[in-house]
Amino acid sequence: MIAELGHVALILAFVVTLLQFAIPMIGARRNDVRLMLFGDYAALAQLCLIAFAFTALISIFVHSDFSVKLAALHSHSQTPFIFKITGVWANHEGSILLWVLILSVYGALVPVFGRSLPLSLKARAISIQGLMGLGFLAFILFTSNPFERLIPVPTDGQGLNPLLQDIGLAIHPPFLYLGYVGLSMPFAFAVAALIEGRVDAVWAKWLRPWVLLAWSFLTIGITLGSFWAYYELGWGGWWMWDPVENVSFMPWLAATALLHSIMVLGTRHSMASWTILLSILAFSLSLIGTFVVRSGILVSVHSFAVDPERGVFIFAMLLATIGGALGLYALRANTLRARSSLNLVSKDGALVINNLLLIAATITVFLGTFYPLMVETFTGAKISVGAPYFNMTFAPLMSLLLIFMAVGPLLKWRSDSLTKYKSTLRKGVIALVLIAVIFGLFGKSGLGGLSLGIAAFLAFGTLATVGKKIRWGEVPKRESWGLLRAQPAATFGFIGAHIGMAIFAAGVTSISVWESSDLRELKVGESIALGHYEFTLNDMTPGERENYQFLGANISITKGGANISDVYTERRYYPVREMVTTEAGLHLSPTHTLFAAIGEGNPDTGWIVRVNHHPFVIWIWIGALLMALAGFVSLCDRRFRHRSGEKTRSDTLVIS
Amino acid sequence: MARIFRATWPLMALLFLAILFAFGLTRDPSVLPSEMIDRAMPEFELTDLYRPNVVYTQDLLLDDVALINVFGSWCIACEVEHPKLMALSRMGDVKLVGIDWRDTREKGQRWLRKNGDPYDLVIFDEDSRLAIDLGVTGAPESFLVDKEGRIRYKHVGIITDDVWSNILSPIINDLKAEE
């Protein structure tokens, strides 16, 4: 019964969404306020209906109702409670429903927060949100109904893929989707602005917090995914340049560019058409992210829902969405005037360079991800592009970006001169060289030293910018602290994000240059030495838990005879799925991670044990989370709220 | 002209990518590339897993229908597939040829000692020489070769009961009936 109710709710949502698309659009054209306001109510109604359907699906999973096909395929009566819930979105149908649910949440937030917006702009944006919801609801109803019944009813379900039975996965996709779908906001508003024929500072200022929000969620989502792959998949790496990782990274790069270009548009009224294109690009890449994972077009470990037929549907939808938006852009682009000439030595100039580098990085990742597909299309050969390509191309681009990140924020808007900052920059360069030489010599890696130096340069540049804002050294210290307290939240967001990036870069450098690992067959009592550390296999105990059997190994790690840590690693066998997984044992500390994972083996010849020493790896995720946190801090900025007074015509950049 | 380009370049870029994707979509990654179907087995010269002095070439696969199975001691899915191969070996319907891929002799032999050896013979392909020519993307992967030594079918992934009785077994019967 509940399944049918859920299905009906989805059909009703489809109808409501159709109206949400059509009526406000007509209203905006006729300038009819009542028709335009209809969109607000439709967006709220759509949210309620989809939330009901989603709750129904959760209830089906929790109650192990295996007459519903989805639950039978992806759950099991013995699955732990938490994984019954996360199992809802650990599959194709459920994850697309989650996608639409989040889309409707964002859609419903437009009327709540958009009171200060021009009525026609708001109506058109809500209408475009409706159109996207329509596409995805059609996709669900026609190709992937989550409420499909199964006859005859099986006695038990097939269980959730053991790889996905992890708390990291429980929260990774929802955050990723909050980010992906959050980018639908700039997209909808970009399209609405193109229809309106006007892109202005009001538009940019209203939209910026939404880009920030989506960006922060996306950052968290990717970070969790990376952490999950590190400790659950036991790959011994934090980033594999796996196609599915790449497709989540590309929208992030584009959103980062958008975050900065929209700042220029809001302050300097330039980069309007570029910002529109970035809005379209960022969301398009999010859609491609969904599309690539779901169609199996690129084969990788993540693609647990390979299904070309659905791929064709998503492909058509993707083409219509992006093609429609870019078509509209083609009609309007030439009427869009650039207002001011650009001075390269200025904050605007630095942000343009930032954008170019980020887009170059996006294209690099795009080529690396899709080049194998292109080669296969034209020659039939299957090839794969691995980490060496990305390290060769991506690392230099990022190093360059870090240097501009250090200098750019120091500069003033409009025009500035570098000679003013000579002494500051000199200090920064001295710090860079000093750190590069010290770490280069002691770590025996010139490149490693250089990267750490650049990270330090970024941290220094960021602090110098703050110093300039609070006039550190110019006025008495007490006054400076007062100025710091009076800084808007956005300043603290800036500090967090840029320092976070420096920490992240330092962490990445450490693990890339100074990691070590070994692999050996060990019997109980034997040990492996890795640098100063000794890993001893103490005992092996088999056992059985809720829904799997396991063989656990206690491994003790000592350094110079003193015990540092005992880690526990196990191999699990899930009978329902006939799958074996490895749980790695980790000793996390601020300075390093010691990692041990047990592989195949038997008591006679021993078990394969892999050990890794990863210096400072945890700072990768701390740096990334700091960036995300900084995004949320920026959102608290007062300037994002009382904005109705700023609605002046003079701010307007006209496309006529 | 420049004005038109300024307005339409994003659309043109999209069009280019769309064509690319459309081609990609029509190719199922698990299907043998069409140019390999009905081709002769690629040439190779590899040794037996147990006896390094015994050399096999593509001529090995003449005369009889064979199921070639790519595996490795490092491959977890192969362990799942293994009981099915053991059962096929007991039935003796088809010649089973193993390719021990990206492995060491010692580990490969130990793995087969532990799990049982279903193969009539095992080719040792440490450096992916044959695997690359066959376009192997992962293990396990299986190929059906006819009496003339031509590849006729490729299956990616585990041979389940379902795959065997609905796909592989009928093809083998057809291939055996061919003159």
Q: What is the pLDDT of residues A245-282, one digit of tens each?
A: 888 999 999 999 999 999 988 888 888 889 999 999 99
- Cα dihedral angle (A201, A490, A619, A572), rounded to 10 degrees? -70
Residue A648 lies in a domain: no
Based on the fold, state whether residues A281 and A402 are members of the same structural domain: yes
A575 in reach of chain B (CB within 8 A): no
Q: Please state, as a whole number, how many other Cβ atoms lie within 10 Å of the Cβ of residue A585.
A: 25
Residues A117 and A134 in one domain: yes
Query: Is residue A508 pLDDT above 50, yes or no?
Result: yes
Q: Give yes or no: residues A106 and A160 share one domain.
A: yes
Q: Judge whether A67 and A153 are in contact, CB under 8 Å.
A: yes
Q: Which residues of A152-188 are buried (b: 16+ CB within 10 A; e: fewer)?
A: eeeeebebbbbbbbbebbbebbbbbbbbbbbbbbbbb
Pick the closest to residue A489 from A606, A629, A388 (CA basis).
Answer: A629
Q: Are residues A547 and A501 in the same domain?
A: no
The arithmetic mean of pLDDT across residues A632-646, rounded, is 70
Do A553 and A446 belong to one domain? no
Q: Is residue A283 part of a domain?
A: yes
The superfamily (CATH) of domain B31-177 is Glutaredoxin (3.40.30.10)
Does the pLDDT of residue A301 top 60, yes or no?
no
Same domain, A33 and A117: yes
Q: Tell me: do A279 and A147 sit in the same domain.
A: no
B2 close contact with A: CB closer than 8 A:
no
> Where do the structural domains in chain B lie, given as residue ranges?
31-177
Asked if the structure places residue A351 within a domain, the reply is: yes
User: What is the spatial distance between Cα A270 and Cα A203, in angstroms, rounded to a whole number?
Assistant: 13
Per-residue confidence (pLDDT) for residue A55, from 0 to 100: 96
pLDDT single digits (tens) B65-84? 899 999 988 777 788 889 88
Smallest CA–CA separation between B12 and chain A, in Å? 9
In contact, A355 and A261? CB cutoff 8 Å: yes
Q: Looking at the structure, do residues A195 and A325 belong to the same domain, yes or no?
A: yes
Question: Please, are residues A235 and A229 in contact by the beta-carbon 8 Å criterion?
Answer: yes
Q: What distance, in Å, lies between the first and last C-alpha atoms of chain A? A: 55
* A 362-381: CB under 8 A from B: 370, 373-374, 376-377, 380
Q: How far apart are the first and last CA of chain B?
A: 65
The larger pLDDT score, comparing residue A604 to residue A12, is at A12
Tokens of B65: 């229908």
Contact check, Cβ <8 Å, B3/A334: yes
Q: Report if residue A639 sits inside a domain.
A: no
Residue partners of A602: CB distance under 8 A and separation at least 6: B114
Same domain for A94 and A140, yes or no, is yes
Token pair recorded at residue B146: 């006819």
- Residues with Cβ < 8 Å from B54, sequence gap 6 or more? B47, B48
Write down the pLDDT at residue A166.
Answer: 73
pLDDT tens across A448-493, in order?
Answer: 999 999 999 999 999 999 999 998 888 898 889 999 988 999 999 9
- Can you tell me which residue has the tokens 């002769």? B40
Interchain CB distance below 8 Å, B7 and A330: yes
Predicted confidence band of residue A377 (pLDDT cuts 50, 70, 90)? low
pLDDT at A24: 95
Instruction: Give the number of other Cβ atoms within 10 Å of residue A249's Cβ.
Output: 23
Q: Max alpha carbon distance in chain B (Å)?
A: 73
Chain B contact for A277, CB < 8 A?
A: yes
Same domain, yes or no: A475 and A528? no
Which of A380, A410, A440 terminates a domain? The answer is A410
CB contact under 8 A, A580 and B137: no
Q: How far apart are CA B4 and CA B6, in angstroms?
A: 5
The Cα A303–Cα A306 span in angstroms is: 6
Q: B141 pLDDT band (50/70/90 cuts)?
A: confident
Q: B54 falls in which pLDDT band (50, 70, 90)? A: confident
User: Which residues are CB-neighbours of A301 under 8 A, at least 6 positions away?
Assistant: A233, A242, A244
Contact residues, chain B, for A296 at CB < 8 Å: 29
**Across the beta sheet with A562-574, what order do the strands follow?**
A527-530, A533-545, A548-559, A562-574, A579-583
**Averaged pLDDT, A533-557:** 87
Q: Name the strands in the sheet holding A592-602, side by side, starting at the edge strand that comes first in the sequence.
A: A516-522, A606-615, A592-602, A585-588
Q: CA A44: distance to chain centroid?
A: 27
Q: Are strands A585-588 and B151-156 parallel, antiparallel or unpaired?
A: unpaired
- Chain A interface test: which of B21, B113, B114, B161 (most A C-beta within 10 Å): B21
pLDDT at residue A225, rounded to an integer: 87
Cβ neighbours of B6 in A, within 8 Å: 333-334
Contacts of A242 in chain B (CB under 8 A): none
Contact A382 B23 (CB under 8 A): no
pLDDT score, position A202: 86
> How many CA within 13 A on the CB side of residue A247?
23
Three-state secondary structure readout of B127-156: CCHHHHHHCCCCCCEEEEECCCCEEEEEEE
CB-CB neighbours of A306 under 10 Å: 17
A482 in any annotated domain:
yes
B18 contact residues in A (CB cutoff 8 A): 319, 323
Per-residue pLDDT band at A544 (split at 50, 70, 90): confident
- Of A330, A377, A605, which has the smallest distance from its Cβ to B23's Cβ? A377
Residue A160 confidence (pLDDT): 72
- pLDDT value of residue A648: 39
Q: Is A275 touching B (CB cutoff 8 A)?
A: no
Q: What is the pLDDT of residue A369?
A: 84
Backbone angles phi, psi at A151, to 5 degrees: -125, 130
Record: contact B25-A297, CB cut-off 8 A: yes
Last residue of a domain, one of A132, A165, A198: A165
**Among candidate residues A463, A480, A514, the one where a domain is terminated:** A514
> What is the domain count for chain A?
4
Two structure tokens written together for B64? 């009889």
CB A199 within 8 A of CB A294: no
A580:B22 CB<8 A: no
For residue A538, what are the domain limits?
516-615
Q: Does B42 touch chain A (CB under 8 A)?
A: no
| A268 shares its domain with A366 | yes
Whether A226 is covered by a domain: the verdict is yes
Q: Which of A326, A374, A602 is nearest residue B11 as measured by Cβ atoms?
A: A326
Which are the contacts of A335, defined by CB distance < 8 A and separation ≥ 6? A197, A655, A656
Please judge whether A330 and B10 are an interchain contact, meaning their C-beta atoms are less than 8 angstroms apart: yes
What's the pLDDT score for residue A651? 41
Q: How far is A15 from chain B (nearest CA, A)?
A: 30
**Residue A641, domain member (yes or no):** no
Most confident of A310-314, A627-631, B1-5, B25-29: A627-631
A267 lies in the same domain as A347:
yes
Complex ipTM more than 0.90, yes or no: no
Residue A620 belongs to a domain: no
